[in-house]
Structure 1
Amino acid sequence: MRVLFVTSEAHPLVKTGGLADVSGALPVALTRLGVDARILMPAYAGLLDRVETTGPAISLGEVLPNVWARLIPATEPATGQSLLLIDCPPLFERPGGPYLNEYGHDWPDNFLRFGLLGRVGAMVAAQGVVPEWVPDVVHASDWQAGLTAAYLWLWGVPRPRTVFTVHNLHYQGIFGREILPMVGLPDMMFGVEGLEFYGHVSYLKAGLYYSHFLTTVSPTYAREIQTQMGGEGLHGLLSSRGARLQGILNGVDQQEWNPTTDPYIAAPFDAENLDGKAVCKAALQRELGLAERPDAPLFGVVSRFVEQKGIDLALSVISTILDSGGQIVILGSGDPGLEWHVQGAAGARPDAVAARIGYDEGLSHRIQAGSDALLVPSRFEPCGLTQMYAMRYGTLPVVRRTGGLADTVIDVAEAEMGTGIVFDHADPGEVIHAVRRTVELYRDRETWAAVVRHAMTVDHGWDRVASDYLGLYSEVLHAD
């Protein structure tokens, strides 16, 4: 089976969030199952210097009005994963990130940049662009790749079959109607039964409407987005397509996130011998200037600072953590107001509260390894990966019952083989109660250790996910 992944980012080449983890890991896992998987993505600034080209550039000509591009076949050196990189320097050779400029603002021509991604995805799928390689399935992800299926529908191409994955319904790729001729789409596609969304063009809706099958990143989130509360205005379309909408939990890279081999942490450990975790805790306390107290329950937060992630809720329980004799470390960035409040909390009690603004891969590993509990009070969470990383490192997740958090964390009070603490509502009172329950469990050292050891044995690897997707692809290929 041949599968083309159309994505705007893939770890380890380009990453802004969980999309990159999935787009980087799933094709590699599918390859182990015998699938010929290739990743199509833009050649952002400097990316061509970090891959190994495997053939001559393929000229695509004028793909969109006044937009010329080439396709560069390559492999990712660390994994050997096959890549198809869209070389279009005027659109992709820029400072800043994949979606934002160096000042943190959306590129004003993102409609064109990711219109090009979708168009090239359709060309590779249906026009024989890559010599002797045509995919059986095109798997596109999120709004940036949403037009892929729209072009295939426009061209009347029933094969290959298309799968579209929503990683976060909140981000929809909304643009004005006037962009349609600039991305080569006719006005007749602008309608409720098409890519129109409240008077605008939605790239996400295009993917949802025109793709043959839909997936999202957890079973609970698949149900939530079909409701008015969770559907972000698209619940009607999603519920009408419910028979072809499936939630498949993401996995984590169990080699990269492995406490027995992790190069970022102070000492290795595993479920059979947790001595190294105590060493990691002491090292984290020293690194961040906290009082070195092995008896203090240490809470960690690794997150973007946005409303979705509930950072305000985490701030609301700091006093409860401190009153319980605990400590908290927070790593992340985002909303300037939240950054200010986080830094203020750390400044007021530097012996018990530590904050680092920004993203630090090594520190994120050390927080997972050195913390006792990871606080994830998300208002909604399509899947979430940090709670799965936490369990790998014997750090018990304290999470809200939503999306993938509900599917991956079992409350210790609800099952004999629980893996964390779960609360129901995004409310400070509930988070406070969850923290108090966590501290109470932590004080029972024997029970705590048993829960930690069980959490560390749960398999969240990509081989399971790849098997699920392989089954879905087979269903897609044989569906009417």
Structure 2
Amino acid sequence: MNEPGSLSLPPVGNAPPMVIHLSAEYYPYARTGGLAEAAWGMHRFQHRRGLATTAIVPLYRVARQHIGELVPLGDPYTLHFGGRTETFQAWRDTEPASETPTVFIQHDGFFDRAGIYGERGADYPDNHRRFSGFAAAALAALPRITQGPVLLHAHDWHAALAPVYLREWWGDDPWYQQIPVVLSVHNGGYQGHFGVDVMPDLGLPWSLFTPDKLEWYGKTNFLKGGLTHADMATTVSPTHSRELRTPDGGFGLQAVYQWMGDRFTGVLNGIDLEAWNPRTDAYTVAHYSRAELGGKAACKADMQRRFGLPEDPEVTLIALAGRMVQQKGLEIVVDNEALFHSRAQFVFLGSGERRFEDSMSALRSAMPTRVAMETTFSDELEHVLMAGADLFLMPSQYEPCGLTQMRAQHYGTIPVARRVGGLADTIDDGHTGFLFDAFDERGVLGGVWRAVTEHRGRDAWIEMQRAAMTRDFGWDRVAETYMSIYARAIAIAGGRQ
């Protein structure tokens, strides 16, 4: 009998399945963006609500600092990729820092490196081997994790070959063939494109290099292979699911998303309401709530001090944090002269493309009392910005979901964002934030000016802050949606038997 509020799934065979999350990034072990927190947040919520679950993650060098004691799941095992043989070891973390059951795939040649995907701005040239190996090794480890049925939830292109190997390598194994597969596309702009010559290196037959499977404009496309072999697929917001079906928003895979029909859908991510809570935040100098906002002024003053800006409670303090790359809209911000003549202070947090870092550094030198920057990203500074800023700027070229705008609203920090993807789905324009449409300097300037003007009216601003803080962005609100998607995948997989 499930406890009240617990989650349950239909049986696979004669028993409910264990949900296995397969992700190249997973908090706190390895992260470069939102994938790590999204995969972890979903898994942790499911685990706390009673589902049998496990995450499988590569054993990166950077992950080891977060790992306590590892116990082996059996002996090392070998897999054959064409004429190449690779040896892997599966380990379970006995006291996982993720607070979820976590298994690591060890292959030091692949994963014991300084970076996750590459170093010094360049991808590792063997990423096709690294992540195809991860996907195949994770599948081979499944019987070491559970003897019962499994539902596989793969995340992004790095894990997308899992359903391909499932059908090709284990096609004659009844236990494997009953496994339903859900593939989540967290960022459709990253697909795992490699040359045609990698097909033998993947240990997959040339019969799969066709336009209805892995072939994409003469290249091998990992994400396309996963989509064409998965039972169900999701992306991380309803609006982005519609965008991905269009020529302008599909990154060349719009026909695949269209072909999937209602097997492809959009579900918003959630945020961790325990970690992101202005009433209890361990990183901030003061606490506050929707009913009592007084502590936010102290957080603003602390943020101004930390970043060397004049303490001024009246000036609008605007933050922008994350990866400083083209997708995040930096090109319509850093050279936007009119934007920096508004009565505001700007704080940039994060690193990325050199051209944007250089432009921000030049802005700071030219306007040291109005512009600050820090390229070393940290959890603490992100919390400081979330609590201290008046506005959070998100001028994204595209944004599949976005977590920052949800956290910002929870902190009474008003987002100014472009009307795309999850930003459009989570910001109520003029009520909990400000949206603009055009991806150009005039568009972002108009959005910021609307917000700065509104900020001058104290009563209206407090009303907007309280409305934003009322929004519910926890995982609870989408739990049943994912259970329906899993149930549909189970039914589809059952039809293959």
Q: TM-score range by the shorter chain?
A: over 0.9
Given the alignment of the two structures, is residue 399 of structure 1 paired with residue 414 of structure 2, yes or no? no
Match of 1:57 in 2: 73
Q: CA deviation at 1:263?
A: 1.5
Match of 1:434 in 2: 447
Do 1:30 and 1:470's aligned partners in 2 also have CA atoms closer than 8 Å? no
Do 1:317 and 1:431's aligned partners in 2 also have CA atoms closer than 8 Å? no
What is the 5 A alignment of 1:69-468?
A: 69-75=88-94, 77-95=96-114, 97-101=115-119, 103-125=120-142, 128-135=143-150, 137-154=151-168, 155-156=170-171, 158-317=177-336, 319-323=338-342, 325-412=343-430, 418-468=431-481
Which SS does the other structure have where 1:3 is aligned?
strand
Q: CA deviation at 1:129?
A: 3.7
Gaps of 5+ in 2: 1-16
Q: CA deviation at 1:87?
A: 1.3
Counterpart Cα distance in 1 of 2:447 and 2:146: 57
Counterpart Cα distance in 2 of 1:393 and 1:228: 36
Which SS does the other structure have where 2:323 is aligned?
strand
Do 2:96 and 2:102's aligned partners in 1 also have CA atoms closer than 8 Å? no
Counterpart Cα distance in 2 of 1:47 and 1:341: 32
Do 1:283 and 1:370's aligned partners in 2 also have CA atoms closer than 8 Å? yes
Q: CA deviation at 1:317?
A: 4.5
Which SS does the other structure have where 1:13 is aligned?
coil
Decide which of 3, 7, 28 is 1:12's aligned counterpart.
28
Do 2:90 and 2:141's aligned partners in 1 also have CA atoms closer than 8 Å? no
Match of 1:415 in 2: none
Which SS does the other structure have where 1:59 is aligned?
coil
Counterpart Cα distance in 2 of 1:357 and 1:327: 17
Q: CA deviation at 1:355?
A: 1.2
Do 1:322 and 1:352's aligned partners in 2 also have CA atoms closer than 8 Å? no
- Scaled by the length of structure 1, the TM-score of the pair is 0.94
Counterpart Cα distance in 1 of 2:325 and 2:94: 34
Do 2:28 and 2:98's aligned partners in 1 also have CA atoms closer than 8 Å? no
Match of 2:491 in 1: 478
Match of 2:14 in 1: none
Counterpart Cα distance in 2 of 1:78 and 1:478: 34
Which SS does the other structure have where 2:105 is aligned?
strand
Counterpart Cα distance in 2 of 1:76 and 1:27: 16
Counterpart Cα distance in 2 of 1:76 and 1:216: 31
Counterpart Cα distance in 1 of 2:429 and 2:66: 43
Do 1:318 and 1:328's aligned partners in 2 also have CA atoms closer than 8 Å? no
Q: CA deviation at 1:200?
A: 1.2
Counterpart Cα distance in 2 of 1:349 and 1:130: 56
How many residue pairs end up in the alignment? 469
Counterpart Cα distance in 2 of 1:80 and 1:255: 13
Q: CA deviation at 1:247?
A: 0.3
Letter in 1 for 2:333: A
Do 1:401 and 1:422's aligned partners in 2 also have CA atoms closer than 8 Å? yes
Match of 1:66 in 2: 85
Counterpart Cα distance in 2 of 1:61 and 1:377: 47
Q: 1:347 to 1:109 in 2, by over 3 A?
A: same
Do 2:69 and 2:95's aligned partners in 1 also have CA atoms closer than 8 Å? no
Counterpart Cα distance in 1 of 2:305 and 2:43: 39
Q: 1:186 to 1:59 in 2, by over 3 A?
A: farther
Counterpart Cα distance in 2 of 1:76 and 1:211: 32
Which SS does the other structure have where 2:305 is aligned?
helix
Counterpart Cα distance in 1 of 2:52 and 2:125: 36
Q: CA deviation at 1:270?
A: 0.9
Letter in 2 for 1:107: Y
Aligned-residue Cα RMSD (Å) equals 1.6
Letter in 2 for 1:29: F
Q: Deviations over 1:235-258 (max 9, x none)?
A: 111111122001000111111111
Gaps of 5+ in 1: 413-417
Question: Bigger shift: 156-165 or 313-322?
Answer: 313-322
What is the 5 A alignment of 1:13-52?
A: 13-45=29-61, 47-48=63-64, 50-52=66-68
Counterpart Cα distance in 2 of 1:76 and 1:19: 22
Counterpart Cα distance in 1 of 2:166 and 2:423: 35
Q: CA deviation at 1:389?
A: 1.2
Q: 1:179 to 1:25 in 2, by over 3 A?
A: same
Counterpart Cα distance in 1 of 2:146 and 2:286: 49
Counterpart Cα distance in 1 of 2:43 and 2:109: 29
Which SS does the other structure have where 2:123 is aligned?
coil
Q: Deviations over 1:392-449 (max 9, x none)?
A: 111000011000000000101xxxxx21001111121121111111111111110110
Q: CA deviation at 1:76?
A: 5.2
Q: CA deviation at 1:457?
A: 1.6
Letter in 2 for 1:84: V
Letter in 1 for 2:309: L
Q: Deviations over 1:283-323 (max 9, x none)?
A: 11111111111100111111211111101222244643533
Counterpart Cα distance in 2 of 1:314 and 1:277: 26
